[in-house]
Structure 1
Amino acid sequence: MECLGVSSAQHLQALSTLLSTQQDDDGDEDCKNVTACAGLGPGHIGPPPKRDKEVSPVYEKKNSKDIWSEEEVAEGSQYDDFADPRPQPEYEVLLKQSVGTEDMFLGLNRKDPSSMCCEAMLVKIKLPDTEATDVILDVKEKFLDLRTPKYKLGLHLPHPTHSHGGKAHFFSVREELEVTLLIKRPMDVVNMQ
């Protein structure tokens, strides 16, 4: 191991010579002073940046208060209609899993209460003063779109879902729609074994 005396100053001087962008004969004298060499940083490596480069219009913000660009907007935003005065109904998203006695008491299938072991998602939507025939429901992989004469709901789902196997049931006594969707995960085969 080297002592941090003269040899480290020589190493700094050699490094300064390698990193300097100007070929000055006086540079060796400046680097004898360690504080002058300490002003160099990672930005001094390589050729200086070109200043005359134009910014691409894709990355240029149109308004300084913009938070994101149109390309970054999530799927399902095409259903958003800000001019539509209909209110959003109350809803609740619950995760479900099929559990038997072997899971509850013996733990044979290695299921736990975490969301990773859930197979389905239940969306409960309260629709007062609505008939089952008035409901228009469209479910995509990551978006649920519900329209009635009195309500509209555009819900971004927390997990991607399968396009098949989902079901919806309207309870007229409770005035509530329950939509059950199967969750799609890339590792379902491995996790559910």
Structure 2
Amino acid sequence: MEGFSSASSFEALCALLNNAEEQEENERLSSSLVGNPGEIGPLRPENRVSSSLQKDKSSKKIWDILEVPEGSEFDDSLDQRQQPEHEMHFKQRVRSEDIFLGMSRKDPSTACCEDLVVKIQLPNTKVSDISLDIRRKFLDLRTPKYKLGLHLPYPVNEKTGKAQFRVDTETLEVTLPMVRDLDFINF
């Protein structure tokens, strides 16, 4: 019995999994047969070049705004400031009936958390030296000694967040309410 090591058996498998239109498109995109597992089966929608994503030849834009990831304007690889130690925690708003009676559908998972808390250690820093910029999925903190660009795991409401600097521990505590699509189900 012949295995999948020969090129003809690989082509036969591709022909079996692809329909005729997708196979023609695959052959047009890759003229040579490469043993890549990603080429088996139909092309995924994200791998296809759609007409809406193709650049307009008459436009003088060098990139589309959707191609630039959020927070990339803060990326400065030549900046020699060190990154401070930081921690991310998730916080729930629970009441006594949630804990003792289990009346709500909340559980200890992050899916039931409402807030994202970021604790940043800033030794030998004054409050007046801190510059903090919060975006929907990005936190940018800068001081004369430290720089932190942090991509957040969930989108947050940047307008209702709170920041508090604790002088005794030299820690900046930023509390950001999370915005998720299915929050109305969890809460």
TM-score range, shorter chain: 0.5 to 0.7
The alpha carbon displacement at 1:71 in A equals 6.8
Alpha-carbon distance in structure 2 between the residues aligned to 1:44 and 1:110: 46
Q: Does 1:111 align with 2:106?
A: yes
Q: Which amino acid aligns with 1:141?
A: R
TM-score of the pair, normalised by structure 1: 0.64
Residue number in structure 2 paired with 1:174: 169
Query: AA paired with 1:155?
Result: L
Q: Write the deviation string for residues 55-83 of structure 1: whole angstroms up to 9, x where unpaired.
A: x9x99xxxxxxxxxx97663102101011
What is the percentage of aligned positions where both structures have the same residue? 50
Instruction: Give the gaps of 5 or more residues in structure 1.
Output: 1-38, 60-69
Bigger CA radius of gyration:
1
Within 5 A, what are the aligned runs for 1:73-84?
74-84=69-79
Task: Name 2:130's counterpart in structure 1.
Answer: 135
Q: CA RMSD in A?
A: 3.0
User: In the alignment, what sits opposite 2:60?
Assistant: none
Counterpart residue identity of residue 181, structure 2: P
Deviation beyond 4 Å, 4+ runs, structure 1:
43-53, 70-73
Once the two structures are superposed, the pairs formed by residues 48-63 of structure 1 within 5 Å of their partners are: none
Unaligned runs of 5+ in 2: 1-11, 31-48, 55-64
* Superposed CA offset, 1:114-154 (max 9, x none): 11100000000000010011000000000000000000000
Structure 2-normalised TM-score? 0.66
In structure 2, the CA distance between the partners of 1:52 and 1:190, relative to structure 1 (3 Å rule), is closer
